[in-house]
């Protein structure tokens, strides 16, 4: 169990994240409400030039269909550029290591991975430093500096901005009196210029101060005290780590992610990265109430999200941190376990220790974070999923009490319930079907994954991570096969944009809906929050329990029998 000193450290980290999130929330609200700001004199001319270049009217509102279509067009265009860079990186500049271009199915998978804010990686980030001795061949597949900076980091910024914009657009649907959810291009540009760029610039400087490298010089070969040579793997790491954590992306510069010393050199950088992961998802819980003009309505979201997060922590800390093997000794079991819970709760997917070294209950906790997606979830989409759960809970309460369900004074009709239920059911469908297909087609056995509980957990975890746009996985470069590249790419694409489209449709149907002045169901009370948390747990556990029972739950009991 967690020790008293570690418990105080945990409280300090989480309370700091909540305080910082609360302080950042007014700024995020002002960004999306176009409130006057002191930085307008500097940024407004730049933003206006961008609008003219794109030939868009920043003041024109969009309906939900146009807003969603605009987001899709921008993302498809970005993916096309990144795909070209990945495939032809061998002939493009800034490739001092001479990495070859990615094969088509891997490039297809990685482009969708980064564009959907998943950052699942089937390649070794830094590549092999001794090509004649590289095995397997997939270890040779590294990314050039150009790919890292113009494809990976570029998509990490834009995917984070997309998630934030669609969440704000959804909230507007609950308060809008005109037939629009705002302008996607305006939201997109302002979120980058006024939020992500400034935050990441400051974070990158802090990372450099903590010892994370930031350079476009080639890898350095040095002689060790034993007389052998060692390759020092450097690059534009600090800038990538900043957006990787702030944008809840997770894709690291190195194959070992933040378990690599250069990407996460000390406990201070470890804690800082944990705080960055929690920052914007926590802020958006407060932003929801501020945008509505009803701050009390943020209570069930922030309390519910962190109550679910507390349950994940309790589950993860039942064992004494971890089994031992694969745990990064620089941070120890406590911080390795905490990182795993945080990174899956906010669907970031980064790691600071090997998942294979984690106790089955820690992995079960990670599953819960990715399956729920609202603890507090990734920036933007986590808030959208929480609103979806609220609608479902309101409907359930209405059935139990015999009242017409309502939320924020608006009646919830049959179409609304159908939309949120389809959005909810997409998740299990795109996880369970490809998991079964991986075994039915022999794709799992082809990469050496057995049918044991441990092997099943690896495959189930892969598609759960892809569907939740988390990116945390067991397979790594072993997943670089046509089956896993294509299947995970499709799962990530559907898991990202299908729920977004459906929940924007829900927001569109809420515009100008008649609002009741009668006091109905109090959705800002502690009682409702308890019911909300219970409903979420019930829905998720009933949906996924058979598969969880075959994976981490069975593995837990097997290890208990074997004395672990």
- Residue 96's H or E segment, with its range, is none
Bridge partners, 221 (sequence order): 231
At 514, give phi and psi (nearest 5°).
-60, 135
Rounded to a whole number of angstroms, the CA Rg of the chain reads 23
The answer to whether 136 and 477 have CB atoms below 8 angstroms apart is: yes
Secondary structure of residue 235 in the 3-state scheme: coil
Q: What does each of the 564 residues of the chain score in pLDDT, given as a tens digit?
A: 567 788 899 999 999 999 999 999 999 999 999 999 889 999 999 999 999 998 999 999 999 999 999 999 999 999 999 999 999 999 999 888 788 899 999 999 999 999 999 999 998 766 554 444 444 444 446 788 889 888 898 999 999 999 999 999 999 999 877 778 999 999 999 999 999 999 999 999 999 999 999 987 777 787 777 878 877 888 889 999 999 999 999 888 888 889 889 999 999 999 999 999 999 999 999 999 999 998 899 999 999 999 999 999 999 988 765 544 456 677 888 899 999 999 999 999 999 988 888 889 999 999 999 999 999 998 899 999 999 999 999 999 988 887 888 898 889 999 999 999 999 999 999 999 999 999 999 999 999 998 899 999 999 999 999 999 999 988 888 999 999 999 999 999 999 999 999 999 999 999 888 877 665 678 889 999 999 999 999 999 999 999 999 999 998 888 777 755
Half-sphere exposure of 240 (CA within 13 A, CB side): 33
C-alpha 482, offset from chain centre: 24
| Three-state DSSP class for residue 546 | helix
481 token code pair: 């096969």
CA angle 539, 387, 188 (to 5 degrees): 130
φ/ψ (deg, to 5) at 337: -70, -45
Rounded to the nearest 5°, which phi and psi values hold at 66? -65, -40
- Do 381 and 356 form a contact (C-beta atoms < 8 A)? no
CA distances from 325 to 210, 328, 335, 353, 458 (A): 27, 9, 15, 10, 17
Give the other-Cβ count within 10 Å of 313's Cβ.
Answer: 21
- For the record, the structure tokens of 353 come out as 């220790």
Distance CA 518, CA 514 (A): 12
Pairwise CA distance, residues 416 & 401, whole Å: 19
Cis peptide before 136 (omega within 30 of 0): yes
Q: What are phi and psi of 305, to 5 degrees?
A: -60, -45
Question: What would the 3-class secondary structure string for 270-313 be?
Answer: HHHHHHHHHHHHHHHHHHHHHHHCCHHHHHHHHHHHHHHHHHHH
Q: Where are the domains of the chain?
A: 14-293, 379-561
- Coil/strand/helix, residue 180: coil
Nearest Cα to 534, choosing from 315, 311, 282? Answer: 311
Full-model pTM: 0.92
For 395-459, give the secondary structure using H, E and C.
HHHHHHHCCCCEECCEECCHHHHHHHHHHHHHHHHHHHHHHHHHHHCCHHHHCCCCCCHHHHHHH
Contact call for residues 546 and 428 (beta carbons, < 8 A): no
Question: Token pair for residue 562?
Answer: 């074997």
Task: Using CA atoms of 398, 399, 402, 405 in order, give the dihedral in degrees to the nearest 10.
Answer: 30
Dist. CA 170–CA 164, nearest whole Å: 10
């Amino acid at each position: 169990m967690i020790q008293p000193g570690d418990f105080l450290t945990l409280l300090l980290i989480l309370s700091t994240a909540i305080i910082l999130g609360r302080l950042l929330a007014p700024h995020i609200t002002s960004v999306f409400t176009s409130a006057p700001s002191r930085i307008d004199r500097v940024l407004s001319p730049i933003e206006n030039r961008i609008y003219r270049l794109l030939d868009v009217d920043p003041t024109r509102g969009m309906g939900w269909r146009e807003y969603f279509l605009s987001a899709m067009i921008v993302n498809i265009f970005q993916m096309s550029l990144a795909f070209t860079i990945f495939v032809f990186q061998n002939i493009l500049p800034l490739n001092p290591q001479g990495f070859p271009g990615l094969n088509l199915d891997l490039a297809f998978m990685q482009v969708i991975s980064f564009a959907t804010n998943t950052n699942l990686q089937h390649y070794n980030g830094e590549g092999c430093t001794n090509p004649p001795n590289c095995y397997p061949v997939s270890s040779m597949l590294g990314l050039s500096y150009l790919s890292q900076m113009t494809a990976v980091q570029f998509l990490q910024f834009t995917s984070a901005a997309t998630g934030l914009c669609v969440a704000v657009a959804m909230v507007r649907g609950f308060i809008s009196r005109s037939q629009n959810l705002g302008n996607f291009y305006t939201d997109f540009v302002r979120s980058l210029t006024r939020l992500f760029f400034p935050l990441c610039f400051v974070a990158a400087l802090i990372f450099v101060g903590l010892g994370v490298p930031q350079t476009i010089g080639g890898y350095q070969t040095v002689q060790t005290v034993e007389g052998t040579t060692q390759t020092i793997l450097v690059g534009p790491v600090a800038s990538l780590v900043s957006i990787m954590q702030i944008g809840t992306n997770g894709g690291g510069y190195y194959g070992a992610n933040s378990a690599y010393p250069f990407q996460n050199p000390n406990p201070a950088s470890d804690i800082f990265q944990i705080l960055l992961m929690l920052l914007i998802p926590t802020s958006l819980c407060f932003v929801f109430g501020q945008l509505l003009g009803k701050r009390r309505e943020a209570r069930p979201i922030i309390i519910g999200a962190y109550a679910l997060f507390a349950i994940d922590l309790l589950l993860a800390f039942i064992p004494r941190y971890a089994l031992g093997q694969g745990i990064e000794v620089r941070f120890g079991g406590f911080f390795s376990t905490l990182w795993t819970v945080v990174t899956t709760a906010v669907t970031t997917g980064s790691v600071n220790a090997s998942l294979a070294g984690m106790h089955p209950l820690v992995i079960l906790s990670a599953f819960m974070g990715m399956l729920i997606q609202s603890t507090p979830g990734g920036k933007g989409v986590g808030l959208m999923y929480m609103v979806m759960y609220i609608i479902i809970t309101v409907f359930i309460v209405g059935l139990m009490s015999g009242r017409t369900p309502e939320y924020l004074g608006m009646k919830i009709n049959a179409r609304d319930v159908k939309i949120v239920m389809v959005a909810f059911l997409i998740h299990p469908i795109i996880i369970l079907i490809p998991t079964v297909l991986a075994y039915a087609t022999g794709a799992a056995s082809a990469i050496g994954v057995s049918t044991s509980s441990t092997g099943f957990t690896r495959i189930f975890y892969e598609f759960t991570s892809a569907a939740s746009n988390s990116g945390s996985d067991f397979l790594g470069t072993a997943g670089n096969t046509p089956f896993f590249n294509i299947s995970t790419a499709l799962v990530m694409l559907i898991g990202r944009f299908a729920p977004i489209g459906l929940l924007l449709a829900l927001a569109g149907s809420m515009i100008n809906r008649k609002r009741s002045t009668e006091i109905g169901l109090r959705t800002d009370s502690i009682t409702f929050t308890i019911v909300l948390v219970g409903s979420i747990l019930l829905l998720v556990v009933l949906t996924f329990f058979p598969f969880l029972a075959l994976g981490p739950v069975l593995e837990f009991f097997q290890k208990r029998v074997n004395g672990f």
